[in-house]
């Protein structure tokens, strides 16, 4: 491909990263591939500052306490109303409140509740990581895997732990082993709640025999269909049911039972279906929680999983119809390294096919919004408008509409093009005179831009219009 070094650097930033900031193209122009690889070697790569963010156990417990207090307050208010006495007022607890004692309850106009406060703090940390990244390749990998193993804040009680889920499950393993990420995801309370495994009870377990409630196959099915082997591959409905039996009892500690550990993962043998299970032709003796771990370990190294993950990675980063040679290269590497995600990421950015595909993919909304902020050198003090843009464009953060996650193909995102124009227009107006479109163009788009795009930007009637056109240009939208 006859790209000059500047264009090659810009391509690296667009296709594998989160877009150029001032100086990034020049910084990596001498060796774009090397720069991408270097981002994988940074100390603590993928982790983000956790000092002011909660662990998932703490987040779950403070949110539970908050909800309890709210309930109590509502009851008290009803009682007060009945007694026609004046009501007291109190402020909502803050999220840095690590205590588990029920905080005083908000009575009126409490603002965002505690789960939402936690959610927003996590979202802010994620956006800041995206804005602060040199290239953003590692962040893109985090986003990819987070979407692969997605949970949704819209499911009850996931809101307060979906952000920390990404840190504890995805970031912690983004350059580790696929098998470790898989186990971390499927045993995290966020996933167990999201895909109903906390309700799933082995029919012949102690709890099952007593409660007359039973199996829920949701998590087992999505593990096979979405997280590992892929749909219509090597498994049958019987495999789904037996695997669901295997993971009965994977749940979290009830808050009332253990105030110190409530909300953390536990294997509850009283819910677990006893006995050996055969999953995809292999028998697993009942070894409690180990039975499920064993199945996950086998799934993680299955060739169908390698193919599924390889195709999805290539589709996400390179092309809706990815080059077969690239998919094969990635799948081989997956199998050869026992799912070493760092090695697979390296293979992705060193494969020639990954650079040769035309820049036809439409950026996902989040990539595009962050790309604008990076190009304009803006760090918003308030993430409200950024979150709102995600919502308007159909990619609300950590809120996919289905377990499949947000689409990796371009087509569904084309629908939001008109909304992108409105957002680009408003964003450009807010930037106003703060950003010089000529400078933004040179720093963020010039090596990839057509002459028509250059002229459209430079001949705009005002700086805001120039920036809006820049952000809407095909070369800025596609990667």
Footprint of another protein on this chain (CB under 8 A)?
414-415, 417-418, 421-422, 425-426, 429-434, 436-438, 450, 452-453, 456, 459-466, 468-469, 472-474, 477-478
What is the Cβ-side half-sphere exposure of residue 99, based on CA atoms within 13 angstroms? 6
- Helix (H) / strand (E) containing 442: helix 437-444
**Euclidean distance between the first and the last CA atom of the chain, given in angstroms as a whole number:** 15
| Shortest Å, Cβ 445 to another protein | 13
Beta carbon nearer to another protein, 329 or 361: 361
| Shortest Å, Cβ 450 to another protein | 5
| Shortest Å, Cβ 416 to another protein | 9
Beta carbon nearer to another protein, 114 or 469: 469
d(CA 462, CA 230): 50
Beta carbon nearer to another protein, 401 or 450: 450
Beta carbon nearer to another protein, 167 or 361: 361
Beta carbon nearer to another protein, 41 or 461: 461
| Shortest Å, Cβ 360 to another protein | 9
Residue 349 near residue 137 (C-beta atoms within 8 A): yes
Q: What's 94's DSSP letter?
A: P
| Shortest Å, Cβ 467 to another protein | 11
Exposure b/e, 34-50, CB count within 10 A at least 16 = b: ebbbebbeeeebbebee
Residue 307 neighbours by CB under 8 Å, 6+ apart: 230, 327, 331
Beta carbon nearer to another protein, 155 or 478: 478
| Shortest Å, Cβ 222 to another protein | 32
Residue 291 neighbours by CB under 8 Å, 6+ apart: 246, 277, 284, 285
| Shortest Å, Cβ 431 to another protein | 7
Beta carbon nearer to another protein, 258 or 415: 415
For tokens 């309930």, name the residue. Answer: 71
Query: Strand 250-252 relative to strand 282-284: parallel, antiparallel, unpaired?
Result: unpaired
d(CA 238, CA 278): 9
Torsion of CA 332, 337, 341, 346, to 10 degrees: -70
Beta carbon nearer to another protein, 291 or 443: 443
d(CA 239, CA 204): 18
| Shortest Å, Cβ 425 to another protein | 4
């Amino acid at each position: 491909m006859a790209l000059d070094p500047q264009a090659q650097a810009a391509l690296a930033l667009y296709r594998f990263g989160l877009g150029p900031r001032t100086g990034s193209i020049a910084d990596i122009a001498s060796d774009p591939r090397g720069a991408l690889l270097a981002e994988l070697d940074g100390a603590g790569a993928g982790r983000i500052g956790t000092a002011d963010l909660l662990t998932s156990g703490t987040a779950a417990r403070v949110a539970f306490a908050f909800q309890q207090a709210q309930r109590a307050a509502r009851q008290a208010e009803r009682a007060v109303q009945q007694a026609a006495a004046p009501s007291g007022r109190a402020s909502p607890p803050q999220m840095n409140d690590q205590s588990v004692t029920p905080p005083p309850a908000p009575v009126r106009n409490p603002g965002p509740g505690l789960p939402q406060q936690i959610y927003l703090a996590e979202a802010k940390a994620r956006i800041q990581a995206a804005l602060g990244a040199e290239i953003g390749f590692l962040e893109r990998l985090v986003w990819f895997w987070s979407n692969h193993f997605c949970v949704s804040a819209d499911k009850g009680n996931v809101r307060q732990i979906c952000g920390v889920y990404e840190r504890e499950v995805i970031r912690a393993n983004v350059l580790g082993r696929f098998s470790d990420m898989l186990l971390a995801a499927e045993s995290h309370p966020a996933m167990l709640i999201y895909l109903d495994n906390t309700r799933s009870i082995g029919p012949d377990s102690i709890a099952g025999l007593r409660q007359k409630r039973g199996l829920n196959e949701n998590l087992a099915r999505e593990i096979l269909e979405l997280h590992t082997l892929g749909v219509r591959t090597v498994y049958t409905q019987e495999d789904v049911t037996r695997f669901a039996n295997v993971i009965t009892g994977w749940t979290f500690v009830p808050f009332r039972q253990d105030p110190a550990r409530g909300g953390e993962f536990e294997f509850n043998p009283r819910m677990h279906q006893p006995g050996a299970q055969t999953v995809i032709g292999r028998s697993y003796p009942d070894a409690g929680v180990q039975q499920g771990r064993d199945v996950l370990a086998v799934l993680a190294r299955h060739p169908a999983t390698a193919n599924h993950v390889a195709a999805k990675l290539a589709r996400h980063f390179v092309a809706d119809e990815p080059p077969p040679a690239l998919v094969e290269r990635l799948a081989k590497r997956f199998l050869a390294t026992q799912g070493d995600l760092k090695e697979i990421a390296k293979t992705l950015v060193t494969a020639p096919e990954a650079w040769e595909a035309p820049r036809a993919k439409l950026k996902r909304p989040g990539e595009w919004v962050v790309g604008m902020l990076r190009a304009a050198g803006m760090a918003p003090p308030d993430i409200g408008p950024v979150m709102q843009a995600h919502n308007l464009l159909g990619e609300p953060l950590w809120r996919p509409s289905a377990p499949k996650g947000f689409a990796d193909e371009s087509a569904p995102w084309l629908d939001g093009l008109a909304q992108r124009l409105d957002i680009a227009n408003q964003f450009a107006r807010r930037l106003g005179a703060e950003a010089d479109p000529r400078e933004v163009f040179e720093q963020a788009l010039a090596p990839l831009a057509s002459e028509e795009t250059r002229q459209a930007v430079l001949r705009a009637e005002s700086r805001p219009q120039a920036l809006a056109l820049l952000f809407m240009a095909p070369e800025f939208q596609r990667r």
